[in-house]
Amino acid sequence: MHPETHFRELCHQHQLAATHQRQLIYETVMAMPGHPSPEAIYDKVRKRIPSISLATVYKNIHTFLDSGMLREVSLHHGSLRVEANEEAHHHVVCVKCKSIMDLEESSMESVLVRDKLPRGFQVKRIAVDVIGVCLTCSSSARQSGTHSTRIRKHRVRKTVHS
């Protein structure tokens, strides 16, 4: 199926007008790896529509989120991030660089919360975030920590010997 036809069908299913701007925003999200922010999406879209505003990108992303065409990755990592991955999965989030990686649902034990939920609460999906420090950030922290320790020792020695 042609991408434009697919987009128009999705908009029809979700009762949205299939505008040119929406189509480019949606196609950009689908083509971007990972979990892009609205700012990253805006940077790509404005190369094709220079007159588009960041507010328009945000508005359309929220429209896609409200309609179910896209999913919000997490509500609490500092900025809005979206994804098109509709498969059941969770996320690994680095607290330093804020990178977000997918974690297959099958790699985690099932989360049982149904008996603990408030009466009448309707579960739409369960999302688990594994919070930590990625390899890149932990490696650079170790390297900079070693370097700063050497500098401090060197300064102390200079002070003692002066």
For every residue of the chain, DSSP letters joined together read: --HHHHHHHHHHHTT----HHHHHHHHHHHHS-S---HHHHHHHHTTT-TT--HHHHHHHHHHHHHHTSSEE--SSSSS--EE---SSEEEEEETTT--EEEEEGGGSPPP--GGGSPTT---S----EEEE--HHHHHHHHHHHHHHHHHHHHHHHHHHH-
Q: Which residue has the higher pLDDT, 88 or 41?
A: 41
CATH number listed for the domain at residues 88-162: 3.30.1490.190
- Cβ atoms of 103 and 94 within 8 Å: the answer is no
Mean pLDDT for 27-33 is 89
Is the fold of 1-86 the same as that of 88-162?
A: no
The full set of domain ranges for the chain reads: 1-86, 88-162
Fold of 1-86: Arc Repressor Mutant, subunit A (1.10.10)
Q: Which of 8, 55, 50, 54 is nearest to 27 (CA)?
A: 8
Residue 159 has what pLDDT?
Answer: 34
Q: Residue 145's pLDDT band (boundaries 50, 70, 90)?
A: low
Q: What is the pLDDT of residues 53-85, one digit of tens each?
A: 999 999 999 999 889 888 777 655 566 777 766
Over pLDDT 70: what percentage of the chain? 69
Q: What CA–CA distance (Å, rounded) separates 82 from 73?
A: 5
Least confident of 12-16, 47-51, 115-119: 115-119
- Cβ atoms of 58 and 34 within 8 Å: the answer is no
Q: What is the pLDDT of residues 78-127, one digit of tens each?
A: 667 777 666 776 777 776 776 777 677 766 666 666 677 788 887 776 77
What's the N-to-C CA distance of the chain in angstroms? 77
Q: Residue 151's pLDDT band (boundaries 50, 70, 90)?
A: very low
- Cβ atoms of 90 and 75 within 8 Å: the answer is no
Q: Residue 147's pLDDT band (boundaries 50, 70, 90)?
A: very low
| Tokens coding 118 | 């408030």
pTM exceeds 0.85, yes or no: no
